[in-house]
Amino acid sequence: MRTDLVSHLDPAVSLAPAARTASANGTGVDLANYDAAAVLINAGTWTDGSHTFEIQESDASGSGYTAVPDAYLSGAEPVVSSAPTASQIYKIGYLGIKRYLRIITTVTGTTTGAVYSATVVRGKPRVKP
């Protein structure tokens, strides 16, 4: 018998899908009442420049964000800088204990844009619907 995966996951957008030509800070996602989290970065069309992703954590929703140490990540934060790194979904697990996560992107080099988004998938809810 299969189980219902939807009842065990709760996605929240940090970086909304957009064509980006400049660095951006994603919205913080609250991990309260969840015991697991993963980040999905959907890198679509890329033209030029370098787009570096970083996952940040904080105890507060609006401030105090710092980079998540690599020891608390399962997988690598991507750098989209050429056609082979675009049109992919990157997944990174979060093993930390902070309450809030967000994704930021830093754009370097001349760019006319890249299309991408970042979603925090919260899992193992303490209370299921």
Q: Has residue 83 been placed in a domain?
A: yes
pLDDT of the residue at 112: 84
- Which residue range is the domain that position 75 belongs to? 10-125
Contacts of 63 (CB under 8 A, 6+ apart): none
Nearest to 19 by CA among 62, 51, 67: 51
Q: Has residue 4 been placed in a domain?
A: no
Nearest to 32 by CA among 88, 126, 99: 99
pLDDT of the residue at 1: 60
pLDDT of the residue at 113: 82
Which CATH number characterizes residue 31's domain?
2.60.120.1110
Per-residue pLDDT tens digits of the chain, which is 129 residues long: 677 888 889 999 999 999 999 999 999 999 999 999 999 999 988 888 899 999 999 999 989 999 999 999 999 999 988 766 778 999 999 999 999 999 999 999 888 888 899 999 999 998 876
Q: Has residue 56 been placed in a domain?
A: yes
- Token code pair at residue 113: 């844009």
Angle at 15 between CA 13 and CA 94, to 5 degrees: 70
pTM equals: 0.92
Domain count, the chain: 1
pLDDT of the residue at 86: 72
Q: Has residue 51 been placed in a domain?
A: yes
**Alpha-carbon distances, residue 49 vs 10, 55, 78, 106, 113 (angstroms):** 32, 20, 14, 10, 8
Q: Has residue 113 been placed in a domain?
A: yes
Q: Has residue 3 been placed in a domain?
A: no
Q: Has residue 57 been placed in a domain?
A: yes
| Virtual torsion, Cα 92, 95, 97, 100, nearest 10 deg | 10
pLDDT of the residue at 28: 98
Q: Has residue 73 been placed in a domain?
A: yes
CA distance 128 to 94: 21
